[in-house]
Amino acid sequence: MLSRRTLIAAGAGMTLASAFPATARAPRPAKPLVLAHRGASALRPEHTLASYAKAIQDGADFVEPDLVATKDGVLVARHENEISETTNVADHAEFASRKTTKTIDGQALTGWFTEDFTLAELKTLRAKERLGMVRPESQAYDGQFQIVTFDEIADFVAAEAAARGRTIGLIPEIKHSTYFAGIGLPLEPRFLAAVRAHGYLRYAPLIVQSFETENLKALRPQIAEFHNIQLLQLVEPSPRAAAMLTPAGLATIATYADWLSPYSRLIIPTDADGKLGTPTGLVEAAHRAGLLVSAWTFRPENRFLPADLRDGAGENARNPKGSLAEMRRYLAAGLDALFTDDPALGREAVDKT
């Protein structure tokens, strides 16, 4: 039986040829990429090895770890540094005094924060499903899985890639970059150190994403030594987005990023009745600026679908047919990738469109 170390080394070698070529910053993929949003987060608690395992099993091209820091400076995967919704920290009496209120990116939040815990302390917690009864299959796994580090995820993905004989990329999101830099725990140097230290991360396709812009601009020259890293600008619906998505704004993004990833309704909005409308032309405009385009996030429950694609099974019911129809509408608009909570459906949408 191959050792874990051997599998990791084999995975690194296997992916060398499939890393992004040095001669083209953003070559278009042969077919749209399936990006596993926090893993298979519709079916397993997000950002756990179980979630990533399910995503890989279901055919994801990339898995997404959102990165935040611990008190002792370790990168771990959590959607937010506030962890009351995604762990059982509130059940740990020994941590009750650490509940506090902080201002993160201008928003006051009350709860428990990763930067107030060492990695060893976080390892005593267990993950839980953030959306509760909306996702009963995932909720059934509450209390079973640890918080995992970026290094652990890289090891796991490397072994999976080698065992399955296919490339599996990682698409980490740098969370709250300015905030973490402000408290003396900058995330980007830790990410680059991990890439340099880990065999698989030096070769596997990596797409680094952020809602912030200055950190991506700073990363652009720092990743010049790597041929396997691209940068992705996330965009949420806001007054700021309007300026970013003009031709001039897109041209600016293209000076430092390879990808644009807006909220899906900025690509195809819904009308007054909540039904999918007509594409805005954003994909074509981004392509003209030299950017690849993904969209976030496609979820399989009725509550997240456009009104015309829901069925009568109830707001919280899974609706695979509706989710497939939604993704196919967006793929027809020219997407190069899509973020989905259910990678099996994403794989089907891409392969059978």
pLDDT attached to residue 337: 98
**Single pTM value for the model:** 0.93
The H-assigned helical ranges of the chain are: 4-15, 49-57, 119-122, 136-139, 150-164, 177-182, 187-197, 214-222, 239-244, 247-253, 282-288, 320-332, 343-351
Boundaries of domain holding 314: 4-80+148-351
In a domain, residue 41? The reply is yes
Give the model's pLDDT for residue 278: 97
According to the model, what pLDDT value does residue 14 have? 43
Characterize the bridge pairing of strands 173-174 and 292-293. unpaired
- Indicate which CATH number applies to the domain containing 60: 3.20.20.190
With respect to residue 322, please indicate whether it lies within any of the assigned structural domains. Answer: yes
Domain presence at residue 137: no
Please tell me the predicted confidence (pLDDT) of residue 10.
Answer: 44
Q: Is residue 305 part of a domain?
A: yes
Helix 150-164 and helix 187-197: axis angle, to 10°? 40
- Within a domain: 106: no
Residue 141 falls inside a structural domain: no
The residues pairing with 259 across neighbouring beta strands, listed in sequence order, are: 232, 292
- Does some domain include residue 51? yes
pLDDT at 353: 74
Going by their DSSP bridges, the two strands 292-293 and 259-262 should be labelled as parallel
Our count of domains for the chain comes to 1
Low-confidence ranges of the chain (pLDDT < 50): 1-18, 21-24
Residue 27 pLDDT: 79
Residue 335 is assigned to a structural domain of this protein: yes
Q: Is 103 exposed, middle or buried (CB count within 10 Å of its CB: 0-12, 13-18, 19+)?
A: exposed
